[in-house]
């Protein structure tokens, strides 16, 4: 009999306690700060629970944006490709198997938010987002204003809106400054070589084309379609560019590639080669150009200085 009573009392206590705990949990959930839904560059609506405290970056350009808007302190991991700012290299690195991230390692960092680019396959983004419930923002800017909007989104999400605004205004003023300086010079036509054979270049839908345009260059690949098309030698001959810019790590180390190579009889008559108007990026310059983010202003400055050295004297 006693046992029955005791059992009943215990049962009541357990039920009451459970209800209290559940209620408290429910209540706590409700009083938590809300979440935010933003649109990323893939057009996905991503809902992120606030506040964001732990961020994993899967691309150097994302890392750079985080530091530039003052949110670098939230990063708990980045990649071994990171090089700027200096303290980004000290963070733990997510293993990148030829650019593709290890999902296990990302999950192990228990992030609230993961930043990616389209170099990550859809499967990886899907795994993180839908299986582990970690929010993933994919940034893939196609032009400089897209870099600004990505930074502002990032500022919104991480609670660094004022930092993001300040950085965007800084970038705008630097690029405006460049454009004021070069405004009085006639535009130089330019061939950008991402790879020399066949000549891969930056087409009209790429941020590199926008960097060239912002620096006052006339990209001869403007008429092609797609972000990184192959441009024919015929068109190079026809457009006869005044300047040639070659990316780093293409095997082109100096002008002799053009003047002594297989097609020297063609190149020797191209204006840029005839006049020695050739720029070959070093590693840092290549990173400025190829990583859309806060360093893009250096890319614009560098190209403008090459195109219009008189304007910067």
CB of 49 to another protein, least distance (A): 36
Per-residue mark of binding to another protein, 14-43 (x: CB under 8 A): ------------------------------
Compare residues 159 and 196 and give the one whose CB is closer to another protein: 196
Site for another protein in 46-105 (CB under 8 A): 97-98
- Token code pair at residue 108: 């192990």
Measured from the CB atom, the residue of 182 and 252 that comes closer to another protein is 252
**Nearby residues of 13 by Cβ (< 8 Å), 6 or more positions away:** none
What DSSP string describes 75-130? Answer: EEEEETT--SSGGGGGS-EE-EETTEE-HHHHHHT--SEEEE-TTS-HHHHHIIII
101-137 in b/e form (b: 16+ CB < 10 A) is: bebeebbebebbbbbbbeebeeebbebbeeeeebbbb
How many residues of this chain bind another protein (CB under 8 A)?
31
Looking at 101-109, 122-130, 195-203, 301-309, which segment touches another protein (CB under 8 A)? 195-203
238 to 267: interface string for another protein, x by CB under 8 A: x-x--------xxx----------xx-xx-
Q: Where are the alpha helices (DSSP H) in the chain?
A: 2-31, 60-68, 103-108, 122-126, 144-158, 161-182, 207-214, 233-239, 256-259, 264-267, 271-274, 283-290, 296-307
Distance of alpha carbon 130 from the chain centroid: 23
Q: Which of 1, 3, 30, 234 binds another protein (CB under 8 A)?
A: 234
- The distance of closest approach from Cβ of residue 225 to another protein in the complex, given in angstroms and rounded to an integer, is 4
Q: How far apart are CA 148 and CA 175, in angstroms?
A: 12
One character per residue 213-232, x = contact with another protein (rule: CB under 8 A): --------x--xxx-xxxxx
**Least separation, in Å, of the C-beta of 229 and another protein?**
3
> Looking at beta carbons only, is 48 or 103 nearer to another protein?
103
Question: Residue 272, exposed/middle/buried by CB under 10 A (0-12, 13-18, 19+)?
Answer: buried
Nearer CB in complex with another protein: 168/273: 273
The binder of another protein chosen from 11, 15, 237, 283 (CB under 8 A) = 237
Residue 161 in contact with another protein, rule: CB under 8 A: no
The residue ranges that bind another protein (CB under 8 A) are 97-98, 195-198, 200, 203, 221, 224-226, 228-235, 237-238, 240, 249-251, 262-263, 265-266, 269
């Amino acid at each position: 009999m006693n046992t029955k009573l005791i059992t009943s009392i215990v049962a009541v206590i357990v039920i009451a306690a459970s209800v209290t705990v559940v209620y408290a949990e429910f209540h706590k959930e409700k009083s938590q700060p809300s979440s935010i839904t933003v649109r990323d560059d893939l057009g996905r609506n991503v809902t992120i629970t606030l506040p964001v405290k732990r961020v994993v970056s899967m691309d150097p350009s994302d890392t750079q944006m985080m530091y530039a808007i003052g949110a670098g302190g939230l990063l708990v991991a980045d990649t071994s490709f990171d090089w700027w700012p200096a303290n980004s290299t000290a963070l733990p690195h997510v293993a990148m198997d030829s650019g593709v991230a290890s999902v296990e390692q990302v999950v192990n960092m228990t992030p609230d938010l993961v930043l990616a680019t389209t170099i990550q396959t859809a499967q990886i983004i899907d795994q993180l987002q839908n299986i582990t419930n970690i929010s993933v923002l994919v940034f893939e800017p196609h032009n400089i204003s897209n870099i600004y909007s990505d930074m502002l989104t990032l500022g919104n999400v991480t609670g660094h809106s004022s930092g993001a605004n300040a950085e965007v205004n800084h970038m705008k003023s630097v690029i405006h400054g460049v454009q004021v300086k070069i405004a009085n010079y006639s535009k130089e036509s330019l061939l950008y070589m991402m790879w020399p054979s066949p000549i891969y270049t930056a087409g009209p839908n790429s941020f590199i084309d926008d960097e060239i345009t912002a620096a006052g260059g006339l990209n001869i690949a403007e008429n092609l379609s797609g972000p990184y098309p192959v441009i024919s030698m015929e068109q190079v001959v026809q457009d006869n560019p005044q300047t040639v810019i070659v990316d780093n790590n293409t095997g082109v180390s100096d002008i002799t590639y053009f003047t002594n190579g297989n097609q020297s009889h063609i190149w020797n008559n191209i204006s840029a080669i005839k006049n020695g108007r050739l720029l070959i990026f070093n590693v840092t310059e290549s990173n400025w150009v190829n990583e859309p983010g806060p360093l893009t202003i250096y890319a614009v400055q560098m190209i403008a200085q090459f195109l219009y050295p008189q304007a910067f004297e």
